[in-house]
Amino acid sequence: MIAGLYIDGQSALHRAQAGAKILAMVALGTGVFLIPDWPVVAFVLATVLLLYPVSGFGPRILWAQIKPILWLLVIFFAVQLWLNDWQAGLLVVTRIAAIVMFASLVTLTTKTSDLLASLERAMQPLRPIGVNPEKVSLA
């Protein structure tokens, strides 16, 4: 079973810089929480899901990424259905699914060493105030 580790490939996402993918992940993660409408977030999720075949990954890999969190999505939906309504449930579930699926896609298309190096470079300006970029990137 594939559990979200790097898989070699030649897609545009594979070739993209790790730092750009990290920034895209931050933007997507922030953006979906600023969007108040579940249909718009569902469109974001659909776009993320379409990036899987574009990146060379089939349904088996896509399923391996979402399967571990399905039970959590069902629970979140049920709680929102109980506390609010089905639309609030869909909003919560689509937000979480979009973030998790994009983060998984970044992991599948980026070597861990490249991710760590990008995070370490991003943390360098914080060194003068006592931040250790190496430790932060590993965390």
Please give the Cα distance from 11 to 109 (Å, whole number): 9
pLDDT tens per residue across span 57-107? 999 999 999 999 999 999 999 999 999 999 999 999 999 999 999 999 999
pLDDT tens per residue across span 45-69? 999 999 999 999 999 999 999 999 9
Q: 3-class SS at 7? A: coil
Asked if residue 136 is part of any domain, the answer here is no
Asked if residue 94 is part of any domain, the answer here is yes
Phi, psi of 4 (to 5 degrees): 95, 25
Total domains present in the chain? 1
Asked if residue 67 is part of any domain, the answer here is yes
Domain of 31, in residue numbers: 17-111
Asked if residue 36 is part of any domain, the answer here is yes
pLDDT at position 84: 94
Mean pLDDT, rounded, of the chain: 92
Angle between helices 86-109 and 38-54 (to 10 degrees): 20
Asked if residue 84 is part of any domain, the answer here is yes
pTM of this prediction?
Answer: 0.88
Asked if residue 87 is part of any domain, the answer here is yes
